[in-house]
Amino acid sequence: MALRIAVCVKQVPDPETPASAFKVDESVNRIVPAPGIPPVVNGFDLHAVEAALRIKDAGDAEVIILAAGNDFVMDVMKKPLSMGADALVLAEDPIFEDIDAVGTVKVLAAMIEKTGPFDLILGGRQASDWDQAHVPLGLAEKLGLPSVTLARNVEPQDGVVRIERALTDGYQVVEAPIPAVVTVSNELGEARYPTLRGIMAASRKQPERLTLDELGLTANDLKPDLSLRRLFIPESESQVEIIEGEDEADAGRKLALRLRELNLI
């Protein structure tokens, strides 16, 4: 029987935006989108999509992408489809700009209830915008499922999922009963690039959309417990001493001498 796998993904500003183009509008506590730099699907979420697709490649699985957010760019959000996912389900509402993780978890849990049941629910280890690394964990608690983080390999077996969990020095093998929530890390290996065929197939697929109402939620259910009071770019003054020389090798030599002079090496 085919496994059903949900992958939760998020649209985020491109984290490779150069620091010089990274701007904050302090009057509304928002990031100013960098001109000409489109948003992306959060990188670790693409690793989660890759993990799901590897399971699909190895056997039989249906991979469904779930996302809650605002101002979706369809070319961006369809990337998991063009990588090979089967369906895309979106909940899009301006209210999602200002909800906290407790709210996000409520929305995703309702989406899972509508589109489930699932054997596995995957997500990235952390989103590159707010860096909280906790929505999948919340989802697991809300749904009453076990959770395992930082997967570098995800392998469903008879009634359990076997996960290699990345540690800073090595890894652990952890087993959890299915259904389970798993967060995926970049140690899994690169996410596949969409093929031309994949892109064509994705262009023909339309996302399924769910409204707040259809999810059985109201704005009141999503009032944040944690709210952003202030967002700003910390001041930093460069104090760098640039070591110069007759040529690059000489500069390298002088750098060593300077560090020795200060007893640093």
Partner 1 sequence: MAGILVIGEIQDGAISAVSGELLAAAGKLVAEGVSGGVSLAVMGDDLSAIMAVQAPGADRVIRMSDPALKDEGTGGYDAPVLAVAALNESISPDIILFAKTDFGAVAGPRVAFKLGVAVAQDCIDVALDSETGRVAVTRPVFGGNALGIYDFNGDGTQVVTIRPGVFDPVEGEGSGTIEDFDVSDAVSRVRAVLVETIVQDSEGVRLEDADVIISGGRGLGGPAPFEQLQELADLLGGAVGASRAACDAGWVDHSYQIGLTGKSVKPTVYLSVGISGASQHMAGLSGARNIVAINKDDNANIFKSARFGVIGDWEKVLPAFTATVRDLAG
Positions that interact with ligand FAD (CB under 6 A):
15, 43, 126, 128
Kindly state whether residue 100 participates in binding partner 1, applying the rule CB under 8 A: yes
Taking the least distance from each CB to partner 1, the nearer of 82 and 126 is 126
Whether 174 contacts 167, CB under 8 Å: no
Would you call 23 helix, strand, or coil by DSSP? strand
Calpha distance 152→182 (Å, rounded) = 10
CB 105 within 8 A of CB 220: no
Q: Which stretch binds partner 1 (CB under 8 A): 11-19, 49-57, 61-69, 202-210?
A: 11-19
Stretch of residues binding partner 1 (CB under 8 A), selected from 57-65, 112-120, 182-190, 204-212: 182-190
Q: How far is the CB of 259 from partner 1 (least distance, A)?
A: 7
Q: How far is the CB of 43 from ligand FAD (least distance, A)?
A: 5
Indicate the DSSP class of residue 190.
P
Residue located via tokens 């929505």: 135
Q: Quick check: 57 binds partner 1 (CB under 8 A)? A: no
The letter for the amino acid at 88 is: L
Please state the φ and ψ torsions of residue 120, each to the nearest 5 degrees: -140, 140
**Binding letters toward partner 1, positions 206-245, x by CB under 8 A:** -----------------xxxxxxxxxxxx-x-xxxxxx--
Please select the residue that binds partner 1; options are 148, 151, 184, 202, rule is CB under 8 A: 148
**Total residues at interface with partner 1 (CB under 8 A):** 85
Distances (CA, A) of 203 to 7, 38, 84, 101, 207: 19, 18, 12, 31, 10
Among positions 151-170, residues that touch partner 1 (CB under 8 A) are 162, 165-170
